[in-house]
Amino acid sequence: MENNRRPETMQRITTPELAQAFIDEQIAEIRAQVGEKKVLLALSGGVDSSVCAALLIKAIGQKLVAVHVNHGLLRKGEPEQVIEVFRNQMNANLIYVDAVDRFLDKLAGVSDPEKKRKIIGKEFIDVFAEEAAKQDGIEFLAQGTIYPDILESDDGVKSHHNVGGLPPELNFELVEPVKFLYKDEVRVVGKALGLPDGMVYRQPFPGPGLGVRCIGAITRDRLEAVRESDAILREEFAAAGLQGKVWQYFTVVPDLKSTGIRDGKRSWDWPVILRAVNSVDATSATIEEVPYALLGKITARILAEVRGVNRVLYDLSPKPVATIEWE
């Protein structure tokens, strides 16, 4: 049976030295496991898959085939960052798949949140499996599984699955170098591997991405409003020193319009809802008390810079009774 228990003797990785010892040990283990064979990895750009990729690149270089699927629901700048860090800086064998039209066409007209998640999950597996089929000689599949994933799946707690989860029909042997690490340890290892802070200290981001923040049936123009407003919120939080302090923050654009005035004429546009919460494990969350002046600045920028938007609202609802995401 597969060993899925963290050894009791394993020391918590809290320092660069402990991280380096872990990295050296994993490089040796990966080499022993895969030898000269090729390994496939779905690289989302999230911290777990990025750390996993960086370890494998150190261990086996170009024999890692990292596939980054752009499903059109990523945040502004994310696909570019994956290419910059992994292809340009780490010289990885990175396959970038532009699947934006494919995903958005499948999602057109679908308003039910669970159907949206299913379509995104299934399409992801299909795209990934197609890329896998184009590769010769792959015998291993690497995954950025971390220890809480193992514990939660034991408990049956995790009701949603990250996009990037194992396509079940791909019958490869697994390589899971960070499977015994807690999130804080993954970050320490990521830092020691030289990954940028923006990747290592990234806030949680749902697998279905901005798709669950563009409420109801996704349209390209409203998705653009989510992406642009999210980028402004992140920029302003970073400028105000809140990045890394607030647990999760994002914008939501509902499928709803209200009247406004723009350029002296009546407008009929969407609102942007801001959400900023603190949590330990996402099972409950409290609201960040964002200073009024900062809310005002973010509002002014969104109204000036994001097309099709005429109002900005701040969501004051804790979890429970609300959930963190809107769908």
Considering only residues 276 to 295 of the shown chain, the ones binding ligand XMP according to CB under 6 A are: 282
| Residue 204 within binding range of ligand XMP, rule CB under 6 A | yes
Q: Is 319 in the site for ligand XMP (CB under 6 A)?
A: yes
Beta carbon nearer to ligand XMP, 123 or 269: 123
Pairing relationship of beta strands 93-98 and 248-252 according to DSSP bridges: unpaired
* Nearest distance in Å: CB 267, ligand XMP: 31
Is residue 76 at the binding interface for ligand XMP, with CB under 6 A as the rule? Answer: no
When asked if residue 248 is in the footprint of ligand XMP (CB under 6 A), the reply is: yes
Nearer Cβ to ligand XMP, position 140 or 249? 249
Residue 13 or 107 with smaller CB distance to ligand XMP: 107
Binding to ligand XMP (CB under 6 A) within 13-72 occurs at none
Cβ atoms 235, 275 nearer than 8 A? no
Question: What is the x/- site pattern for ligand XMP, positions 139-178, by CB under 6 A?
Answer: ---------------------x-x----------------
Residue 323 makes contact with ligand XMP by CB under 6 A: yes
Smallest gap from Cβ 227 to ligand XMP, in A, equals: 16
The only residue of 45, 79, 208, 271 in contact with ligand XMP, by rule CB under 6 A: 208
> In the structure, how many helices (H) and strands (E) does the chain have?
10, 10
- CA–CA gap between residue 304 and residue 294 (Å, rounded): 15
Distance CA(102)–CA(130), nearest Å, equals 13
Instruction: Spell out the long-range contacts of 280-288 with Cβ–Cβ below 8 A and sequence spacing 24 or more.
Output: 282/204, 282/324, 283/319, 284/318, 284/319, 284/320, 285/247, 285/248, 285/318, 285/319, 285/324, 286/318, 287/315, 287/316, 287/317, 287/318, 288/242, 288/246, 288/249
**C-beta of 76 vs 87, nearer to ligand XMP:** 76
Inter-CA distances, 315 with 51, 123, 132, 213, Å: 33, 31, 42, 13
Which residues contact ligand XMP (rule: CB under 6 A)? 117, 160, 162, 204, 206-208, 248, 282, 319, 323-325
